[in-house]
Amino acid sequence: MAGATADGPDAGPTDASPTNHAPAGDAADAPPPLPPLRDDAARPDWRWDRKARRVIDRQTLPAAFRRAGYSLPEGAAVYAARIVPGVNGPAYILYQAGRGAFSADFWPASTVKLLAALAALEYVRDLGFTGAARVSFDAKTSDSLRAIVDRSLRVSSNSDYDLTLLLAGVDRLNRRFLTPERGFPTIVIQRSYTGLDVPDSPPCTLEQHGRSRLLPARPATPDDRCPDHGNCATLFELAEALRRVVLHDELPPAERFDLDDDDRAALLDALCVADSSPFLDGATRALGAPPRICHKTGSVGGRDFLDHALIESPASGERWLLAASVPDQGGATASKAALAEIAEQALRALRNRSAGFPLQPDAGIPITVQLDRTGRGRAAAALLTIDAPGADTVAAFLDGRPLGDASPAQGRFTLRLQPPPRDDHLLALQAARQDHPIGYRSLRLPFGPTPPATRRAAPP
């Protein structure tokens, strides 16, 4: 890691600064404004999931587990996030253990039912309907979409999950809804849970408020990204879907699903049932009282048991995302107990914790970063000049590791990194005024290629 030192303030005010209010008569004596900065962020920027991969904490949970004398079951995966105040919305401090947040080496089972339901709800909304619409596939299969979704989530009905899959359409689901741009680069949902393999969508009718629409049959194309035409997911992406539903009102519009208000309320009613979560007993032991839990669990005997949840402490109000999978531990009782133990150990490690790097979408004041290279050889350095109008402090992080605070200079700050990093890194900046956060930006910053003498040889 390159070292960082804060340079002193640049001389002279800028008229972008709210503190620069010279009397009109002194305008001729005022120094000229500082020149504008280049913005040296690389384009395209990294997606949210790629940024998360770079900054996720890989040490805290394993170290806490060791101190507690606890060992994860072999093959288990754990992803957790502390939800903390950010700029104009929540921020997230990310953790993983075992196989981690980004492994798809498990069978997601019923955990994918939330995403299938969301895809169906967004599809009918695109057509001008809501979840109150009656969906009819044939004379024997007809109900409101909201009731179908509720049974799919609340009692984990496989037949109702299949109906959401048929309505959303396998191709539309995987090519228009579950896209990298929307934050789902890995998840594939195509397998029926009632024995239909990858099902084509038959014709169906939507009816609401005297209006009806016939949807034609739609063929399904198997997605070969997932072996055996199955369903694939990562804990991170499963938790992303849940996060965006439960925290909808706190999120920027770009992160929200396009849901009718009544449909979202119905989703929360089906998801926020703590008694059905395998995490409940362990979370209660860790927090001292039963917490609020919004979740979707899943299991297949002989394969994997999972849960992913948003958990809220009744005493402190702290909130966490937690997702975990364990291979079958010898039956449902032992496997659910293993998930409860993961919840207990993870929450004991993360409750009342203050340290960590928060990741969030860009928000608040505009922040500009200019990268200049100075010196040669051992004197080489990377100089970051940061414009953050109105801020009196800017904290900087490189790939989640703190670089330190820069000194204010009428909204402009500098940091020197020596020796300079190489290649692209994630630079995150938190701007504050009088200890109040007013801006956040994370960006892919290109520091330049690794010198030939130190560059690793490409694998054959």
297-301: which pairs have CB atoms within 8 A and are 24 or more residues apart?
A: 297/110, 297/111, 297/156, 298/108, 298/109, 298/110, 298/111, 298/112, 298/113, 298/156, 299/109, 299/110, 299/332, 299/335, 300/107, 300/109, 301/328, 301/331, 301/332
Percent of residues, the chain, with pLDDT higher than 70:
90
Q: Which of 119-128, 208-217, 409-418 has the lowest mean pLDDT?
A: 409-418
Task: Report pLDDT for 28.
Answer: 54
Distance in angstroms (rounded) separating the CA atoms of residues 190 and 226 = 9
- In this predicted structure, the answer to whether residue 27 has a pLDDT above a threshold of 70 is no
Q: What pLDDT is attached to residue 339? A: 99
Query: Which pair of tokens denotes residue 182?
Result: 């929307």
Helices and strands of the chain, counted as H and E runs: 10, 18
**Angle, in degrees to the nearest 10, between helices 261-271 and 145-154:** 20
CA 100 → CA 20, 29, 30, 138, distances in Å?
49, 60, 56, 43
Q: Which CATH number fits domain 3-19+35-47+362-446: 2.60.40.10, 2.30.30.30, 3.90.1150.110, 3.30.56.10?
A: 2.60.40.10
Tell me the average pLDDT across 149-176: 97
> Is pLDDT above 50 for 1?
no
Predicted pLDDT at 16: 37
pLDDT digit string (tens) for 398-429?
A: 999 999 887 776 658 999 999 999 999 999 99
Position 4 pLDDT exceeds 90: no
Nearest to 250 by CA among 90, 83, 360, 358: 90
Distances (CA, A) of 101 to 80, 106, 237: 8, 12, 8
In tens, the pLDDT along 440-450 reads: 999 999 998 75
CA dihedral 327, 331, 336, 341 (to 10 degrees): -70
Across residues 45-69, what is the average pLDDT? 98
Of 32-41, 61-70, 337-346, the one with minimum mean pLDDT is 32-41
Q: pLDDT (tens digit, 9 = 90+) per residue, 216-263? A: 999 999 999 998 889 999 999 999 999 999 999 999 999 999 999 999
What angle do the packed helices 145-154 and 158-168 form, to 10 degrees?
130
Tell me how far apart the alpha carbons of residues 165 and 168 are, in angstroms, rounded to a whole number.
5
Q: Give me the pLDDT at residue 355, please.
A: 87
Candidates 146, 115, 114, 143; CA nearest to 130 is 146
pLDDT over threshold 60, residue 7: no
Domain ranges of the chain: 3-19+35-47+362-446, 58-106+264-350, 109-232
Structure confidence at residue 409 (pLDDT): 66
Residue 140: what pLDDT?
80
Reading the block at residue 17, the tokens are 């600064």
The residues that bridge with 324 in the sheet, in sequence order, are: 78, 307
With CA atoms as reference, report the closest residue to 315 among 288, 294, 283, 347. Answer: 288
Question: What is the structure's pLDDT at 20?
Answer: 43
User: Structure tokens of 403?
Assistant: 């670089």
Report d(CA 253, CA 440) in Å as an integer. Answer: 17
**What mean pLDDT is predicted for residues 260-273?**
98
> How confident is the model at residue 53, as a pLDDT?
98
49-63, 86-100, 146-160, 194-208: the lowest-pLDDT one: 194-208
- Residues 344-376 have pLDDT tens digits of 999 999 999 988 999 999 999 999 999 999 998
- Give the per-residue pLDDT at 196: 74
Calculate mean pLDDT across residues 143-161: 98
Average pLDDT, the chain: 91
Q: Give the closest residue to 147 by CA, choosing from 245, 266, 260.
A: 266
H, E, C per residue of 27-83: HHHCCCCCCCCCCCCCCCCCCHHHHHHHHCECCHHHHHHHHCCCCCCCCCEEEEEEE
